[in-house]
């Protein structure tokens, strides 16, 4: 049997990490096949590193994340716990609005933040230093640029991105805002856990416009503190 307290802790940690990386949608160099792509999706493989995750708990964590994009809008969809819990991270670079949707355990909640709230959130929680390099790497068939990122604990790691897609300010709502391109491979460290994401598939095509809106039946919050009190 899964310990409910530990499972809840893992769920909270994963949601925190996903909140930190929201708005990240893979992009660097014009490599041809997907150059100028305005609409489609990127599928990421997700792996976790932590000495505290037992096999049963690990099975509850997402193995895949999908980011949909269209113009200045992105929607990252994460399913957890054998699809019993879904989180959507919606970023609108034209309206400077960032929305987190959480559907779990019978609750449906939406947190909608404006540009100032997003800036305050990341200044309070994480600050990354970014240094661009001349290194490149091919990921999902795209030649990507490298940036070295250093977090507040002085831990440094590489991030790979591409500017192939025609998406407006894809990282404005994330800690990676100094990277002008969609992320293709990156890591997020929170506590003793590291979440790694690497693009494995890029699909061009029209997306359902409902991906970028708050569905009916969600309780809407505009203050993160109010939303946390109900969880």
Half-sphere exposure of residue 142: CA atoms within 13 angstroms, side-chain side = 32
Judge contact between 170 and 69, C-beta under 8 A. yes
Other beta carbons within 10 angstroms of residue 194's beta carbon come to 16
User: Does 213 score more than 80 pLDDT?
Assistant: yes
Question: What CATH number should be reported for the domain holding residue 94?
Answer: 2.50.20.10
pLDDT at residue number 29: 37
Q: What is the arithmetic mean of pLDDT over 82-104? A: 91
- % pLDDT > 70, the chain: 81
- Asked if residue 30 has pLDDT above 50, the reply is no
Domains: count for the chain: 1
Number of H helices, E strands in the chain: 4, 12
pLDDT at position 22: 44
Q: Report whether pLDDT(5) > 60.
A: no
List of long-range contacts for 128-132, beta carbons under 8 Å, 24+ apart: 128/175, 128/176, 128/178, 130/159, 130/176, 130/178, 130/179
pLDDT at res. 69: 94
Domain of residue 61: give its range. 4-230
């Amino acid at each position: 049997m899964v310990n409910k307290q530990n499972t809840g802790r893992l769920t909270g940690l994963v949601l925190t990490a996903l909140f930190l990386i929201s708005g990240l949608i893979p992009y660097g160099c014009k490599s041809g096949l997907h150059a100028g792509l305005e609409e489609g999706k990127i599928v990421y493989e997700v792996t976790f590193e932590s000495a505290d995750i037992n096999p049963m708990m690990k099975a509850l964590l997402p193995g895949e994340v999908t980011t949909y994009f269209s113009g200045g809008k992105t929607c990252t969809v994460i399913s957890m716990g054998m699809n019993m819990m879904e989180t959507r991270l919606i970023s609108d670079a034209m309206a400077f609005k960032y929305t987190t949707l959480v559907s779990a355990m019978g609750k449906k909640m939406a947190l909608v933040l404006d540009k100032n709230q997003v800036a305050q959130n990341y200044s309070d929680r994480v600050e990354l230093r970014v240094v661009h390099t001349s290194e490149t790497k091919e990921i999902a068939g795209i030649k990507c640029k490298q940036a070295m990122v250093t977090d507040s604990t002085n831990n440094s790691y590489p991030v790979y991105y591409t500017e192939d897609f025609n998406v407006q300010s894809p990282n404005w709502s994330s800690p990676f805002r100094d990277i002008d391109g969609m992320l293709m491979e990156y890591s997020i460290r929170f506590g003793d856990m590291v979440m790694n994401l690497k693009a494995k598939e890029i699909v061009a095509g029209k997306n359902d416009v409902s991906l970028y809106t708050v569905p009916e039946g969600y309780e809407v919050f505009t203050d993160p503190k109010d939303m946390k009190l109900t969880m």
